[in-house]
């Protein structure tokens, strides 16, 4: 199953319109810095939280570099959820000069 990908530039545009973003990194990684507004659902808990990926339109999924988020996307897409992987992940977001939030402010 092919999973769509989006760049961090395209993600920024989508987030400005109210799109959902889920971060599947571990808690310590998320707390150190995440895209503002991201909801935290660690990869290991994705099977128990598939419904949180559902909604109107696509849900964007991010991790550190794009590998774990791709695995999460593959899992939830097999359950009929419209998901898009963020290519390059949080590293690409930071390298693009965008800011991150710290702490558990957007934790689920």
Q: CATH number for the domain including 74?
A: 3.40.250.10
Indicate whether 34 belongs to any domain: yes
Other Cβ atoms less than 10 A from the Cβ of 61: the count is 33
Number of domains in the chain: 1
- State which residues form the domain around 51: 4-95
With respect to residue 106, please indicate whether it lies within any of the assigned structural domains. no
Cα separation, 107 vs 27, whole angstroms:
9
**Mean pLDDT score across all residues of the chain:** 94
Instruction: Give the tens place of pLDDT for each residue, 21-48.
Output: 999 999 999 999 999 999 999 999 999 9
Does residue 105 surpass a pLDDT of 60? no
Q: Model's pTM, two decimal places?
A: 0.94
Residues 31 and 46: beta-carbon distance below 8 Å:
no
From the list 63, 73, 76, 86, the catalytic residue is 63
Q: Determine, yes or no, domain membership for 68.
A: yes
Total Cβ atoms within 10 A of residue 105: 13
Q: What is the residue whose two structure tokens read 């939830």?
A: 76
Whether 59 is in a domain gets the answer: yes
The sign of the CA dihedral 72, 75, 77, 81 is: negative
Per-residue pLDDT, 78 = 97
Q: What is the pLDDT of residues 50-79, one digit of tens each?
A: 999 998 899 999 999 999 999 999 999 999
pLDDT higher than threshold 70 for residue 107: no
For residue 108, what pLDDT is reported? 42
- Known catalytic membership, residue 73: no
**Residue the block writes with tokens 């659902």:** 41
Mean pLDDT of 83-97: 98
Spatial strand order of the sheet with 20-23 comes to: 4-6, 83-86, 59-62, 20-23, 39-40
């Amino acid at each position: 199953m092919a999973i769509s990908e989006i760049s961090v530039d395209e993600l920024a545009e989508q987030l400005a319109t109210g799109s959902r973003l889920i971060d599947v990194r571990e808690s310590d990684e998320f707390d150190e810095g995440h895209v503002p507004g991201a909801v935290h659902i660690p990869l290991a808990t994705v099977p128990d939280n598939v419904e949180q990926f559902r909604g109107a339109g696509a849900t964007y999924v991010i991790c550190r570099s794009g590998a774990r988020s791709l695995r999460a996307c593959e899992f939830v897409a097999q359950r009929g959820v419209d998901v898009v992987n963020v290519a390059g992940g949080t590293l690409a977001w930071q390298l693009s000069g965008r800011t991150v939030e710290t702490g558990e402010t957007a934790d689920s």
